[in-house]
Amino acid sequence: MARTRESPPEDTGNATRENFDHREEFDDRSPEDLKPGPARVVDVSGRCADCWGPIAGTRDASGRWNHIECLLCGRSVDEEKAVHEVEAMQREAHDNMAAARVGQPAMYRANAGFVLKLLPDMDRDVVVVEQRIKASLAEGRKGGRLTRHDFPPGTAGYLHAQARAFLAGVESLSREKAAIALTDLEYGEPQLVGIDGTAGDGTIHVAGRIPAVYKKPSNRELMARMGTALVAGMASAFACEVGMKAILVTRLDTAAKKHDLLALYEEMPGDSRGRLEGDFPEIAEVLGDSREVFGRWRYFEQGIGEDAIRALVDTDRLWGLGKAARVIADECVVAGMNYEIDIDTTFEIEGKPGDVRTSQRVHLTLESGESSIPWAELLRQET
């Protein structure tokens, strides 16, 4: 049976917003069972089905969820809809659990607004993975490829940290990234155009219109929006790239030294692609459409310039790349990568009375890790 441990609620001012993050632990395998098997611990985290951003919600006095919102795109549902959505999310997570524990993809409702992402803590086998890495080091360097010579054991997690940092940067940018935004339209009072009661079934059809005036943004504002879209597009594409390279190195000890997102995706292990497509069925298409965003499009080269700019300020593409990057960052966690960032400060006082000097040293540390998951053996167990 699963034991559930809730995360402490997030204090966000007036109403206490809670996220859906918690951990489920399973005791259906004995601690002595050392054969690779279903994960004993699964972290559960809420995601927006549209953008894969983190979500939070509130409950009413009786404990029923009355609001869920995406902290990234702002989409939300309230009252009865929130109650039904949470019930559906929990049922779905329950149904997905057995598959997730053995690395199989998740299946979500076609109309899901929000979902619970399952992040299994897969079994480890340090000996098997160390042997694999040793064998790949013995093969020597390979032209045009990243190998374990470039990323010794433990360091693939740095790439994951880098992907997360790019994403955090993108998420702190203005939401206003479209060259033409809805906020450029000023709406007037709705005007009644006609009333028609001739349908015969008792319904009355009321027609109206709402006049809207387009306020052209200044060139400066347009340039700022285009710049925000460019920064977000490139950073998201780069987050996809380093995230996939992190997974490739940790899983296969090698990755193409390329920026081409589709080529990297096609190198990924099948089970990994299966989970990514479970979370975002269009991911291969999105990466294919934007395969050269970081590689070639960072320069407004002649000929490719116009296409590149159009592609980069295309908000649909931007949305797709951002979602792909977040789905890939989750897969980095399933692949066993982690990182820790910390700031140490030391404060020193020296000297004699009358002549005291103080100094403060700030030391930023980023530590990275990867786990010895014997995927080949784990997946063999299931077939």
Per CB under 5 A, residues contacting Zn ion are 48, 50-51, 53, 70, 72-73
Cβ closer to Zn ion: 139 or 316? Answer: 316
Of residues 158 and 280, the one with the C-beta less far from Zn ion: 280
Longest CA pairwise span in the chain (Å): 99
Q: Based on CB atoms, which residue is closest to Zn ion, 89 or 308?
A: 89
Tokens 């000929």 sit at which residue?
A: 303
Q: Which is nearer to Zn ion, 52 or 339 (CB)?
A: 52
- How far from 257 is each of 92, 168, 188, 248, CA to CA, in Å? 39, 25, 55, 11
**Cβ 243 to Zn ion shortest distance, Å:** 19
Least distance to Zn ion, CB of residue 75, Å = 5
**Which residues are within 8 A (CB) of 65 and not within 5 positions of it... i.e. 6 or more apart?**
57, 58, 59, 82, 83, 85, 86
Sign of CA dihedral 139, 144, 149, 154: negative
Four-point Cα dihedral 270, 272, 273, 278, nearest 10: 120
Question: Taking the complex as a whole, how short is the minimal distance between the CB of residue 50 and Zn ion, in angstroms?
Answer: 5
Closest CB to Zn ion among residues 251, 323: 323
Q: Which is nearer to Zn ion, 50 or 292 (CB)?
A: 50
Q: Are 71 and 12 in contact (CB under 8 A)?
A: no
Rounded least distance, CB 100 to Zn ion, Å: 22
Kindly state the smallest distance separating residue 116's Cβ from Zn ion, in Å: 15
Closest distance to Zn ion from the beta carbon of 99 (Å): 24
From the DSSP assignment, how many helices (H) and strands (E) are in the chain? 10, 15
Best CA proximity match to 334, nearest among 126, 95, 131, 160: 160
